[in-house]
Amino acid sequence: MPEGIETADPKRATRKTRTGEVISSGMNKTIVVQSITRVPHAKFGKIVKQKKKFYAHDEENKAKTGDTVRIMETRPLSKLKRWRLVDVVAK
């Protein structure tokens, strides 16, 4: 998955972005995004998948389960939410 850094405002520090699949959208204005990173195993060198879940803010409830989305780092919005939805890449 492509991962990058974007800037919302030139005065601010760069913010991390992630691309992943929505695995849950049942909560109001919140989605759970699973990002998969492929890295070589430290000892054996085999490529293994690392999965990480991110809770993201979806103000308009436009992302549904199964969509591919791009999320960006933001200030803490709740106990678990530190990311916000940027756009829906694919339905």
pLDDT tens-digit series, residues 37-90: 999 999 999 999 999 999 999 999 999 999 999 999 999 999 999 999 999 999
pLDDT on residue 88: 97
Quick count: other Cβ atoms within 10 Å of Cβ 2? 7
User: What mean pLDDT, rounded, does the chain reach?
Assistant: 92
Tell me, what CATH number does 35's domain have?
2.40.50.140
Q: Are 54 and 3 in contact (CB under 8 A)?
A: no
How many structural domains does the chain have?
A: 1
Contact 86, 73 (CB under 8 A): no
Q: In 3-state terms, what secondary structure has residue 87?
A: strand
Query: pTM for the full model?
Result: 0.81
> Is the model's pLDDT at 91 over the cut of 70?
yes
Confirm if 48 and 41 have CB atoms less than 8 A apart. Answer: yes
Q: What is the residue range of 28's domain?
A: 4-90
Instruction: Please report which confidence band the pLDDT of residue 13 belongs to, taking 50, 70 and 90 as the band edges.
Output: confident
What's residue 5's pLDDT?
67
